Amino acid sequence: MSVSARASSWLFSVERHAFRAEKWICILSLVAMLVGVSFSVAVRYFNLHLPDTGEIAIFAMAPLTFVGAAMCTYTGTHIAVDVIQQVKSPWVRRIGRVITALAMIVFGAVYFWTALEFFQTALSSGERGLDLGTPIAVPALFFPIGMALVVLHAVAELIRGATNEPSVGEEYS
């Protein structure tokens, strides 16, 4: 096995493990949203003198959004892929995959730097949520993490597209 094949194999293994973690992060985010909203409704309905837990649901939207975007990049379930799949020519589809992967790398990298700056600002400000006092830096951290994962998946898809390997989405269809 060549060095580049071993490196690709290693990257794809890291990518699969990252995707497993992403699924759990999104599952936990959804559970947190469900619990936070349900508890908040119960507190309001029964007029309990407890803090509003809606903040949990709001903060859980960050990992769901940004890590969920990475999951869409991995599975190829975003609009650019839908357009590429409609093309009949395998060569044009391959070029489309490579161009899409390059665009996703640029997108993820640009937003990673923006997100990192946003996270650092949130961290240094010490700002907290009003109801539970959760640091704003906690949900803000998921913005750069999600964008780094988008880049990871896009690089792996670029390699798959350039070497004419099936995308992850094609493997399961």
Nearest to 139 by CA among 74, 45, 65, 76: 65
Model pTM score: 0.90
What are 120-142's pLDDT values in tens digits? 999 999 999 998 999 999 999 99
Q: What residues have CB less than 8 Å from 72, skipping those under 6 apart?
A: 78
Give the number of C-alpha atoms closer than 13 A to the C-alpha of residue 128, restricted to the C-beta side: 7
- The whole-number average pLDDT for the span 48-54 is 91
What are 62-97's pLDDT values in tens digits? 999 999 999 999 998 876 666 677 778 889 889 989
Neighbours of 64 (CB within 10 A): 21
Task: Specify the number of domains making up the chain.
Answer: 1
The answer to whether 115 and 67 are in contact (CB under 8 A) is: no
Backbone dihedral angles phi then psi of residue 15, each to the nearest 5 degrees: -65, -45
Residue burial 10-20, b: 16+ Cβ < 10 Å; e: rest:
eeeeebeebbe
Nearest to 115 by CA among 127, 103, 107: 107
Residue 6: predicted pLDDT: 84
Nearest to 119 by CA among 135, 104, 105: 135
